[in-house]
Amino acid sequence: MKKLIIILPLFILFQACNQNTESTTSKEKINFTLNQNFGDYWYQGEAELTSYELTQVRYGQQRKGHAVLIYVTEDFSKSKQVKLDNPKAAGDDAEKVMKLNFTKKFKTGIYPYSIMTSVFSPVYPQYDLHARKITTSIQEWCGHVFTQLNNEDKYYNLLSRSYFESEGDIETELEKVWLEDELWTLIRLNPEKLPSGEIKILPSTQYIRLKHKEAIPYSASIDIINHNSLKILELNIPDLEKNLKIQFEANHPYKIQSWKETYPENGEMMTTEATLNERLMLDYWNKNSVNDSIYREKLGLE
């Protein structure tokens, strides 16, 4: 199996030019509004579960599997950056976030892959639009790796854990730029605030781990394309020859319909693709009995 290599240097801070094209880190208040029907959809005590048929590129071949996007709002601790057990007792430390749990399952030959990224983005940002926290873990039969990014106001704190000797235990500070992972939650909150044009971005933590790339900012461009009742976010990172297209509904709640991710694999451009299978609104945390497995069938996960 290929050996994971990740380089985590300190970075020179880039100055933010404006809110639409650069990192939003100033102490000026952000003009951020939600759709008037936001609460009707997101505060009904349920999560949005969407399953997708997945074709995942790995080791130069396309693997069949499934992906699930789980979106839910919850109360978050500003200081500890974890879900609050008792939000009412937290006072000013409580912050409402939109959480995305993004999972992938697929097999490579005899052994399975299990990937999960969690993104926690502020629902009511005042000064900083960026995600408060991002974590990614990848498990397969050779071992597992873990990455965590914490928003520390002026920088990101990166924690890296791996079973590979060359990685070991790493903790460092990263430059405050846009994160590919946070685009998935910003689409759902307010796509008008998505960055556009020329930007600096940290590629997705899944991509960095799978492709063994440096965890550094790359020059990139983002375009938002109108396509009938849909919109397409297109991200290009030229130095990586990486292209991401996320197709989502143009109207609230901006549901994600599909995505494609293309990059070189074994010297050939290959595409990972996910297409919509099924979507449910469900309080899944209460559905843990044997009989509740019917919901997995409804999502096409059996």
Residue 236 counted as domain residue: yes
φ/ψ of residue 151, rounded to 5: -80, 110
Residue 180 counted as domain residue: yes
Residue 15 counted as domain residue: no
* Assigned token pair, 280: 């449910």
pLDDT reported for residue 64 = 98
Neighbours of 245 (CB within 10 A): 18
The C-alpha atoms of residue 137 and residue 267 are separated, in whole angstroms, by 26
pLDDT in tens, 172-227: 999 999 999 999 999 999 999 999 999 999 999 999 999 988 789 999 999 999 99
Q: Give mean pLDDT, residues 270-284.
A: 98
Closest CA to 189 of 98, 103, 76, 70: 98
Residue 212 counted as domain residue: yes
Closest CA to 104 of 224, 261, 216, 240: 261
Residue 109 counted as domain residue: yes
Residue 29 counted as domain residue: no
Closest CA to 115 of 274, 300, 281: 274
Confidence of residue 26 (pLDDT cuts 50, 70, 90): low
Number of domains in the chain: 1
DSSP conformation letters of 5-34: -------PPPPP--TTTS---SSSPP----
Residue 2 counted as domain residue: no
Q: Domain containing 62: what range?
A: 38-298
Residue 214 counted as domain residue: yes
pLDDT in tens, 28-58: 899 999 999 999 999 999 999 999 999 999 9
